[in-house]
Amino acid sequence: MKEYATDMRTAMADTLTELCRNDERILWLDSDLMASSGMNKFRSAFPERTINCGIQEANMLGVAAGLSEEGFFPFVHSFAAFASRRIADQIFVSGIYAKQNICIVGSDPGISAGPNGGTHISLEDIGILRSLPGTIILEPCDPVQLKSVLRQIPQRTGVFYLRLMRKSKDQFYPDGTEFPIGKASLIRQGSDITIITCGTVCIKEALKAAEALEEKGIHARVIDMFTIKPLDQAAVLQAASETKAVITLENHNIFNGLGSAVAEVLAENRCSVPFRRLGAPDRAGEVGTADYLMSKFSMDAQAVLAAAAELLP
């Protein structure tokens, strides 16, 4: 696997700086996490378009809504747990219900916040955001995809939630690849079984599992569902009809995330394909390294291989 020239957060800072030059609406709001979000680089270029609100996520989201009402397109940032769980009602009332335009960036999603422990691990943020009306939920896996997605957001309206693995340099796609929001990306072709996943850590594990399956003569398809909402239903149904089993793998719990979204599509379309959701069970996170937690929560390649062995005859 290639390594990109910068990590994800630097790619974000570079892209938003570039967008800001031609779009006077774009603002960055942070919650005393500028050093974490990597956006000091953006602030150097556009100090007047950067607002560090301090440690007040609820006020930050409301301020963003007010700025949107005055014609701006604010991006707001906190760690994923606080950008979702902590301010769900502000996102709903001040953002969504008031029909404002805001992109919420939640960094270190899921187990990637492991060293900070259970308080910081967001295994439910997608579920919270997915149940709020009209949201668009994105989890880009590499800097190439992140850049493409970021450029599309200000062209649209509404409330966006973007999960950001801020320190990753993993590159899965060639430079310059474009990723239309709402359309799944086929990252590996295969005809026997499909793994539907998204985000850096899970894409990596899914590809690892696919290679291991290949050695056994099983051709695994890997779908990068970087737009979790609205879901690319056609890609799911095509996979269900063209391969013999479907597995979802997510850095989240198995409730109301990617796996649930895929299950809804399969069930409502009478797809009886063997199916398994992989993700954290009904429990909170705990302190630990990413590898440890992914293994413990059945989010790694081993878990995919075990599920594939059960599902395939």
Partner 1 sequence: MVTRYEDSAQLQQFADRIRFHSIKAMHASRGGHVGGVLSLCELMAVLYGSVMNYDPADPDSPDRDKVVLSKGHCGPALYSALALSGFFPQEELTTLNRNGGRLPSHCDMNKTPGIDMTTGSLGQGASTAAGMALGKKMKKRKGNIFLILGDGELNEGQVWEMAMFAKHHQLDNLIVFVDWNHQQLDGYTSDICRLDNIEGMFSAFGFEAVTVNGHDVDAIRIAVKNVLSDKNGIPKCIVLDTVKGKGWSLTEGKTGIHHIAITDEMMEEAKQEFAEKGVVIE
Task: Count Cβ neighbours within 10 Å for each residue of 168-195 and write b for 16 or more, e otherwise.
Answer: bbbbbbeeeeebebeebbebbebebbbb
Q: Which stretch binds partner 1 (CB under 8 A): 8-16, 68-76, 200-208, 234-242?
A: 68-76
Q: How far is the CB of 56 from partner 1 (least distance, A)?
A: 4
Q: 22, 47, 70, 174: which one contacts partner 1 (CB under 8 A)?
A: 70
Helices 143-152/8-22 angle, 10° precision: 30
Rg of the chain taking only CA atoms, in angstroms: 19
Under the binding rule (CB under 8 A), the answer on residue 157 touching partner 1 is no
Specify the residue, 85 or 244, whose C-beta has the smaller distance to partner 1.
85
Under the binding rule (CB under 8 A), the answer on residue 59 touching partner 1 is yes
Under the binding rule (CB under 8 A), the answer on residue 311 touching partner 1 is no
Q: How far is the CB of 68 from partner 1 (least distance, A)?
A: 8
Specify the residue, 84 or 194, whose C-beta has the smaller distance to partner 1.
84
Give the 3-state secondary structure of residue 313: coil
Residues 22-51 that bind partner 1 (CB under 8 A): 48, 51
User: For residues 311 and 214, what is the distance between their CA atoms, to the nearest angstrom?
Assistant: 16
Q: How far is the CB of 120 from partner 1 (least distance, A)?
A: 21
Q: 53, 136, 141, 261: which one contacts partner 1 (CB under 8 A)?
A: 53
Under the binding rule (CB under 8 A), the answer on residue 21 touching partner 1 is no
User: For residues 222 and 174, what is the distance between their CA atoms, to the nearest angstrom?
Assistant: 17
Q: How far is the CB of 99 from partner 1 (least distance, A)?
A: 5
Task: Count Cβ neighbours within 10 Å for each residue of 84-100 and write b for 16 or more, e otherwise.
Answer: bbbbbebbbebbbeeeb
Residues 85-144 that bind partner 1 (CB under 8 A): 89-90, 93-94, 97-99
Residues lying near partner 1 in the complex (CB under 8 A): 48, 51, 53-54, 56, 58-72, 89-90, 93-94, 97-99
